[in-house]
Structure 1
């Protein structure tokens, strides 16, 4: 393209310069005007940048990474992407003196069109922007279709540019394959990636092939390809994410956690990645890893579009559980619970639902630490707010109140709250499932049916003396309904039978002790109380006496 054509392109653009240094704003905006840009806006921080982008459409944004207090350049970019305020047909250039690995990888993950380091000269900026503009112009019609979410049209325009021997063949192939993925045309996407790999071993094509295989649920094949991508370049963080998906698809959450730990180390500023690591760590009962990741989520999410009060509550719940009297560092965890919740209370999105949850969790931490007198005022405040504002609250507020009432030993009050939640949110599957998991008897029709089916299956195994299968069935059921009295007692009875017939096995005593502990607050008036006390004695006898002396009551 001739220079006069580039000048024409510049003249048609509206640009935004974001930098906290006044002299830099003046310098860059002056350079842009020399290039031919007629309309340049300048702002000093991330908040002003977001306001400007919501009020105007910009063809190009040049944004510094370090913007002082508030959002940084990466957070501006990710929020613009998240809120669809930066079209594919717009250009985003990160301009900064920051060159740390953490910053570069974090920014590149949200795909800026270019990255320019300071100090910037007019010649350097012109060279970089000319290159971006030429590429952008060549792909403009494709990106226009992507903005319109017409992925079929975008795919067709890629094909047309490829037939015309575009100088941006790699970019066209990459977009074409991605469009086929979005259209669920996995076979065609795989053909494109494989074709590229037959010519050259390009990482983006191998990554795309792994992504396609994950989408097709070919997890073992995906694992091979994604491991090769990571071996060739560990910095390709999406490969780690996809490899974790492949492991989860194969049922291995421990390896998935390890992969996400690696990914979080490569790109530590990713909120979603740290959050996923925390979730996997919790699933795997890796308490310390969960705590560390949960703390990083809060720190990383500050001023981000992904900042959420749920992150504070997730960490507070973990800390409250570790606050139990007798646990190592219990008092320290009580203190940290309060510190985390007090930080949340200063955030602008702290509302009445958050107030209920905060007080409930403070009370729970103290109750677990055997400080009932200190806990009561916080629980009373949570209950009062819940009762007076329940129609305005998020369901999570009721769940946290109910869980704290359970810890306090007030089962009837907890059941009342749980019943109300099912009535108020009958179609909210996640809430209903959580209510059922917290109850000694499921509150929903679906939950009761699932318990009945799993109980029948376990009893059938037990009656046919397939005790090991019965243990696994009841163990899986408790994973869904951990507070169900009958399921926990059935598991204990199945374990006793398996031990009597086949000998003690590693972990069986822990299974029994955990089940009995989960339902230890059973009411003496409950119809299953006698069975509970009988099995508790059986467990003591089984794991302390010679098995031949046992008289198992079936």
Structure 2
């Protein structure tokens, strides 16, 4: 005979359901009128625990102290950080609980704004003005989805991919209306774990039943990951045919085309994606990288300038955008043979520095040194090689003897500056300290510089002349060696190694032709070129010995 419920005694009434916890909401909007209107609307639908923030910074302070069930963000928060950037920042810091609902609202109905808001995947997106019934329906739908898929969103928020795969599979079977969402998320997670074959099989099964844009996109990603790039292109083009605003498909289509060697097509697809969604940092960044690889400095320059603006108030801000922008300006000017672009460089760099200064100054990043390196690069581009070299070496004097301790951003900018200077050997030695998994834009920018036609021709000719000079010196042909080192320095006027080689051979010629004043004067001038520059330890020691030898010869 079944036992009686232990919480009930004979004759007791059924237990009352546990009271529903009142929902707590954070509304972030800088317009008082909208706050008042939303407060009345929210109270009408039973939400009374309402908190307000007038700016992203105020919202962040609140979220550091407490959490909410519902986050309602206006996209446009006036100057500074917008709603999208705030949402990215809060998620990055883990300040939005996985069971909470995020709703984004905006009065801007433009395609760019809508796609920008949807790219960060809020639970709902509403255009102003909206009715109470609209808001109530969307909120209930979002809350129901979060509740039904709580295990999925929790594993996603906690970045537990294996747990996420299991949760997706279980929820897909349990709740058919969310099956497509769960299966696609499951496949995406399998791709992250290197299970591309499993992801491809899962998406093919899903598509056998019905067409689904996200599933077709994920299938294309899986095919690309497996190296089946022609099949990937087919799936991704089919995705875009039916979903031309699915901008992520353009990104993966470009990746598949790059793998097939179709660089021009890849650049074209990404440019189209950026035109559709101009607020996307991810798309613009990838376009800039491909432009750099293809040595399309004009378009890379324009995209990077946009990136500087897009990222300055977001978690995506990085000095690499400015560094790559300066390099594009320089390489474009060098290859155009147009003095106007070089002459205008200082103005353009100063403008870019002012745009990004505030956002980088508040971080732990050493902005003053970064700015010094940028200005040194400008001086080099303007032809003021020695001035630029001195600025560069002085900016880095604390790390010259320990380059491995140099902050990555400063190290990358220094490598680029050294290539500009013609300090090719030094640049390569410092580049060895950059990790392979370092910022891809930085490594692509350095690679593009190394492979640039103008830089390569200059470098190859310099190396040939320097090697000829060394060979002549070793053979005792000092006059011939001097000719080669002079020409090497003409190709790379600020190269320390060639200057030291020239001094060394001049000392031999001074000894050989003691009555000639020409060699001592030239040696003195070359020594003066290096004087006052905080060289790296090996170069500094060699310079010290050569200068001492010159002094003793006089």
Q: TM-score, with normalisation over the residues of structure 2?
A: 0.71
1:155-554, aligned counterparts within 5 Å? 155-164=165-174, 166-324=176-334, 326-327=337-338, 329-330=340-341, 331-349=343-361, 353-371=366-384, 376=387, 379-388=389-398, 393-398=406-411, 400-401=413-414, 404=417, 407-408=420-421, 411=423, 421=430, 428-429=435-436, 515-521=456-462, 522-523=465-466, 525-527=469-471
- CA shift, 1:36, in A, is 3.2
Answer whether contact 1:18 1:42 (CA < 8 A) is retained.
yes
* Distance in 1 (alpha carbons) for counterparts of 2:54 and 2:369: 38
Residue 369 and residue 85 in structure 1: after superposition, are their counterparts in 2 closer, same or farther (change >3 A)? same
More deviation, 330-339/88-97: 330-339
Shift of 1:366: 3.2
Contact 1:47/1:70, CA 8 A, preserved across alignment: no
**Aligned positions, number:** 453
| C-alpha distance 310-279 of structure 1, shift in aligned 2 (>3 A) | same
1:213–1:219 Cα contact (<8 Å) kept: yes
The alpha carbon displacement at 1:209 in A equals: 1.1
Which segment is superposed worse, 519-528 or 13-22? 519-528
Cα separation, 2, equivalents of 1:438 and 1:159: 42
2-side partners of 1:20 and 1:358: how far apart?
34
For 2:211 and 2:90, locate their aligned partners in 1 and report how far apart those are by CA, in whole Å: 33
Matches of 1:364 and 1:517 in 2, distance apart?
Answer: 18
| 1:60-89 Cα deviation digits (max 9, x unpaired) | 101111111111111122223333333442
Equivalent residue runs for 1:56-135 within 5 Å? 56-135=66-145
Q: Deviations over 1:434-489 (max 9, x none)?
A: 999999xxxxxxxxxxxxxxxxxxxxxxxxxxxxxxxxxxxxxx989769xxxxxx
Distance change >3 Å, CA 22–CA 186, structure 1 → 2: same
CA contact (8 A) 2:320 2:442 kept: no
How far residue 243 of structure 1 moved from its aligned partner, in angstroms, is 0.9
Cα distance in 2, alignment partners of residues 181 and 436 from structure 1: 25
Contact 1:317/1:361 (<8 A) preserved: no
For residues 483-510 of structure 1, give each alpha carbon's deviation from its aligned partner in whole angstroms, at most 9, with x where no partner exists. 9xxxxxxxxxxxxxxxxxxxxxxxxxxx
- Secondary structure of 1:526's partner? helix
Question: 1:145-164: per-residue Cα shift (whole Å, max 9, x none)?
Answer: 33344444444444444444
CA distance in structure 1 between the aligned counterparts of 2:441 and 2:283, rounded to whole angstroms: 24
Residues 155 and 366 of structure 1: is their aligned pair in 2 closer, same or farther, counting only changes over 3 Å?
Answer: closer
Give the CA deviation at 1:129. Answer: 1.0
Distance 1:94 1:438, change over 3 A: closer
Q: Tell me by how many angstroms 1:20 deviates.
A: 0.7
Q: CA deviation at 1:183?
A: 4.4
Structure 1 residue 379 displacement after superposition: 4.3
**1:137 pairs with 2:147:** yes
Quick one: distance in 1 between partners of 2:148 and 2:442? 55
Structure with higher Rg: it is 2
Contact conserved, 2:219 with 2:235, CA < 8 A, in 1? Answer: yes
Distance verdict in 2 for CA 1:63–1:399, change over 3 Å: closer
257-266 or 244-253: bigger deviation: 244-253
Residues 1:127 and 1:154: Cα distance change in structure 2 (over 3 Å): same
Distance 1:87 1:213, change over 3 A: farther
Judge which range, 112-121 or 328-337, deviates more: 328-337
Contact preservation (8 Å) 1:354, 1:397 = no
Secondary structure of the equivalent of 2:325? helix
Query: Which of 88-97 and 156-165 deviates more?
Result: 156-165
Residues 6 and 517 of structure 1, relative CA distance in 2, 3 Å threshold: farther
Match of 1:42 among 34, 37, 52: 52
Is contact 1:322-1:333 (8 Å) kept?
Answer: no
> Post-superposition shift, 1:115?
1.0
C-alpha contact (below 8 Å) 2:419/2:427 kept by paired residues: no
| Structure with larger RCO (C-alpha < 8 A, sep 6+) | 2
Aligned equivalents of 1:92, 1:435: Cα separation in 2: 34
In structure 2, the CA distance between the partners of 1:158 and 1:426, relative to structure 1 (3 Å rule), is closer
Q: Distance in 2 between matches of 1:122 and 1:361?
A: 53
Deviation at 1:198, TM superposition (A): 2.1
